[in-house]
Amino acid sequence: MLHIEILPALADNYIYLLREPKSGETAAVDPADAQVVLDALRQRGWKLTYVLNTHHHADHVDGNRRLKAETGCRIVGAQSDAARIPGLDLGVAEGEILMLGNAEARILDLSGHTRGHIGFWFPEEEAVFCGDTLFSLGCGRLFEGSADEMWRSLGKLAGLPPATRIYCAHEYTEANGRFALTLEPDNPALQQRLSEVRALRARHLPTLPVTVAQELAANPFLRPHSVAIRRTLGMEGEPEVAVFAAIRRRKDQFRG
């Protein structure tokens, strides 16, 4: 079983440190700050094997080169975006498998937030690392992709086994929940999730991981089929991707 640690970084980033206990192989997912990772490794006596990058944004790759220089780790990222992943050693694509010791990670193409955005799904561990594609109660902005692309990517995550734990890269849950309530205020799953989130944040604790099942019940970006959301938007009878796109546009303008 993978040992997974959450390392807060910058203002609201999460770096994930993964260790496969039998082999001792260790990976850092989206190292925004190399020092945070190096400190954690020293404290635990671990050696870094891989950096796993979901996409090219600076707050996900800034630690790459220093970690590679100081630990000898290999940098893994999307082959399709190789030019923008600093220090890339191993380019991967959807359908390929990466082994972290005995733990198998399947690569998912999750383009939409950026071109070449990928995720790392560990089916036996019931865990997925999805960067900025899906957030708890939210999703990433469409900086480089279309609504169609993002909707396909979200569909891949929504289709994972319900118990799969989602590890996304930012602590945005409470703000996302405030927006979600404007669309579906009477959703009991959303109300319960937001209550839990507020309690966690009051104690300065992460709101992650969260399961696929929880997100399907409460995250409006996975719920364009919802009668209540469609009624709020005045989009009864519209295709799901059109409703999703409208939700994303509304969130882009939300100040709350």
Which residues are tagged catalytic?
A: 55, 57, 59-60, 113, 132, 170
The values of phi and psi at residue 38, to 5°, are -60, -40
Residues 6+ apart with CB under 8 A from 173: 135, 136, 137, 138, 197, 201, 207, 208, 210
Of the candidates 214, 94, 210, the one whose C-alpha atom is nearest the C-alpha of residue 152 is 94
Q: Which residues of 223-239 are buried (b: 16+ CB within 10 A; e: fewer)?
A: bbebeebbebbebeeee
